[in-house]
Amino acid sequence: MGRAHTAAYRRFLYAALGFAGLLGFALRVEALAALALGGFVLLLVAWRQARGGLARLAVAREVYPSAFEDDAVPVSLVLDNRSRRTAWLVEIRDSFGPAVADRQALLEPGPLRAARRRRLVYRTACSRPWGVYTVGPLTLSTSDPFGLFHAERGVPDVAPFAVFPRVWPVAGIEKLGARPSLSPQELTLARSGQSLAYLGVRDFRPGDDLRRIHWPATARRGAPAVKEHEVDLVPYFTLLVDLDRAHRAGTGLKSTLEYLVRTSACLVWTAATRGDLVQVLGEGARTLALPPGAGTLHATQALYELIQAQQEGRVPLLDLVEHHRLHLPAGSTATLLSGTMFLDLLRLEEALGALQSRGVRPVVVLVNKDSFLPIDRRAVPRDQAAAQAGAAATLLRSRGVPGAILSAEQDLEAELGRVDLFEAPR
């Protein structure tokens, strides 16, 4: 019975009992008067039952705080009756922001005895696109056994819920290989290098990174000393993301931000699931700096950082590369993900040469901003865009750098799944 029907039925009972009471007093029929009085007493008891059952009723939500697009998510609601009263017809309403049908309702008909607990579960799907949403608040309502009266209370249990982009394996990344720093026969030999494994302390040498200074040892020796680490034996993958606001274009699923975030997510997830040590760097409205780490938990943290990124930065991609290239370990792979094809090709060539001279293998992915709906400025003519794409492809081929160009006309999932994705751009 709906709330409107219950209210109408309750009004009918009020009218009927009131009429019976008036008729009993008017005709001096004690039975009618007693019936009316007893009816009103029962209604009062039912009203108190509905209110009393809600007084110390508690509910808590249990849900994993993230999922991928289109994933089915189970949400568990733990209902706890902490009072001495029995609760009847308990209804719990929840709000699940990532779902299009965000209102969820569950009914526990009862009776829920005192000091008892019940667990209710509903399943819903993350049908909205990637982003950070909220789950909650909760609403609790109880009724009397007849369903005549309802009492309701809000539970301010609101929590963030992250929806990650649906990731696809990037087929072309397997052959790139974020290569180990050492050859296999050296795996059991401790050697100084760039890994996180601590090896020891040595005297400072010209060119050493000042961040590696070991201050306690420096104080004891009276001369600068630096920390030494073992050579990194784990494949190392760095993603440098272009979040320059000058490269914003398009809306929704066909935008440069969508392509940058989704491509980044696929690259990071593919590298992490094959065992690479992954780090992500970018400069948007806030700094995107995910330190090196491995495993799916680290990849999940990377996705959480990516879905909060915005194209509001003012640091060009090549400046970002210049700032971080000296800290990339030899033998690793660095992917430059640009929001435009119109990079300064002379500076790009210098940056690629500098990375290669350090033993870092660069990969370049260009998003064709001018294939999307313009926002801040007009799109360049197609012939000019084609000429720039050809010049960029020629540069990458001349330096032996794998690369790809992504545009709005392409299906992103199909493009990232191509085995020959990182061949010379077409």
Residues 375 and 356 in one domain: yes
209 has pLDDT over 70: yes
Paired tokens of 118: 């019940």
Walk across the sheet containing 88-95 and list its strands: 103-108, 88-95, 138-143, 150-155
163 has pLDDT over 50: yes
Q: How far apart are CA 372 and CA 298, in angstroms?
A: 32
Per-residue confidence band for 176, with pLDDT thresholds at 50, 70 and 90: low
DSSP state of 96: B
Per-residue confidence band for 178, with pLDDT thresholds at 50, 70 and 90: very low
187 has pLDDT over 50: no
**pLDDT at residue 9, rounded to an integer:** 64
For 241-248, what is the mean pLDDT? 94
Residues 316 and 223 in one domain: no
Looking at per-residue confidence, does 189 or 89 come out higher? 89
In a domain, 186, yes or no: no
Q: Which residue segment(s) compose the domain that 222 sits in?
A: 191-230
Residues 222 and 244 in one domain: no
Residues 158 and 291 in one domain: no
What is the enclosing helix (H) or strand (E) of 77?
strand 72-81
161 has pLDDT over 80: yes
Per-residue confidence band for 183, with pLDDT thresholds at 50, 70 and 90: very low
Q: CB-based contacts of 348: which residues, under 8 Å, 6+ apart?
A: 318, 364, 392, 395
The answer to whether residues 133 and 163 touch, using CB atoms and an 8 Å cutoff, is yes
In a domain, 185, yes or no: no
84 has pLDDT over 60: yes
Percent above pLDDT 70 for the chain? 87
Candidates 212, 188, 208, 186; CA nearest to 200 is 212
The DSSP secondary structure of 6-57, one letter per residue, reads: HHHHHHHHHHHHHHHHHHHHHHT-HHHHHHHHHHHHHHHHHHHHHHHHHTTE
Please report the sign of the dihedral spanned by the C-alpha atoms of residue 72, residue 132, residue 128, residue 130.
negative
In a domain, 150, yes or no: yes
Residues 119 and 202 in one domain: no
Give burial (CB, 10 Å; 0-12/13-18/19+) of 78.
middle
Q: How far apart are CA 299 and CA 272, in angstroms?
A: 6
Residues 118 and 226 in one domain: no
Residues 280 and 403 in one domain: yes
Residues 253 and 326 in one domain: yes
**pLDDT at residue 175, rounded to an integer:** 62
**pLDDT at residue 300, rounded to an integer:** 94
Could you tell me the CA-to-CA distances from 351 to 123, 291, 322, 332, 398 in Å, in that order?
50, 22, 7, 15, 14
Q: How far apart are CA 127 and CA 183, in angstroms?
A: 46
The alpha helices in 140-249, defined as continuous H runs, are: 173-176, 215-221
Amino acid 354 reads A
The answer to whether residues 98 and 133 touch, using CB atoms and an 8 Å cutoff, is yes
For 174-190, what is the mean pLDDT? 46
In a domain, 184, yes or no: no
For the chain, how are helix, strand and coil distributed in percent, rounded to 5? Answer: 35, 30, 35
Looking at per-residue confidence, does 353 or 423 come out higher? 353
Per-residue confidence band for 61, with pLDDT thresholds at 50, 70 and 90: very high
Give the β-pairing of 333-338 and 159-164. unpaired
237 has pLDDT over 90: yes
In a domain, 400, yes or no: yes
Residues 224 and 278 in one domain: no
Per-residue confidence band for 121, with pLDDT thresholds at 50, 70 and 90: very high
For 262-271, what is the mean pLDDT? 94
For 61-77, what is the mean pLDDT? 94
In a domain, 37, yes or no: yes
Percent above pLDDT 90 for the chain? 45
**Cα three-residue angle 328-331-332, rounded to 5 degrees:** 50
Residues 102 and 152 in one domain: yes
Could you tell me the CA-to-CA distances from 313 to 61, 130, 287 in Å, in that order?
37, 21, 9
| pLDDT tens-digit map of 355-379 | 999 899 999 999 999 999 988 788 8
Could you tell me the CA-to-CA distances from 375 to 46, 114, 198, 254 in Å, in that order?
62, 61, 49, 12
In a domain, 51, yes or no: no
Residues 214 and 253 in one domain: no
Looking at the 3D structure of the chain, how many domains does it have? 4
What's phi and psi for 52, nearest 5 deg? -70, -35
**pLDDT at residue 419, rounded to an integer:** 66
Paired tokens of 127: 């049908």
Task: Say how many C-beta atoms besides its own lie within 10 A of residue 41's C-beta.
Answer: 10
Lowest-confidence segment of 131-135, 273-277, 349-353 by average pLDDT: 273-277
**pLDDT at residue 126, rounded to an integer:** 94
For 47-75, what is the mean pLDDT? 85
Give burial (CB, 10 Å; 0-12/13-18/19+) of 308.
middle
144 has pLDDT over 60: yes
199 has pLDDT over 70: no
**pLDDT at residue 179, rounded to an integer:** 46
Residues 241 and 370 in one domain: yes
| CATH code: domain of residue 117 | 2.60.40.10
| pLDDT tens-digit map of 402-424 | 999 999 998 888 888 876 677 65
Looking at per-residue confidence, does 11 or 240 come out higher? 240
Paired tokens of 329: 């370990």
Could you tell me the CA-to-CA distances from 387 to 205, 394, 395, 403, 405 in Å, in that order?
47, 11, 12, 16, 13
Looking at per-residue confidence, does 182 or 306 come out higher? 306
pTM, 2 dp: 0.76
Average pLDDT, the chain: 84
In a domain, 52, yes or no: no
For 272-288, what is the mean pLDDT? 90
**pLDDT at residue 182, rounded to an integer:** 42
What's phi and psi for 46, nearest 5 deg? -65, -40
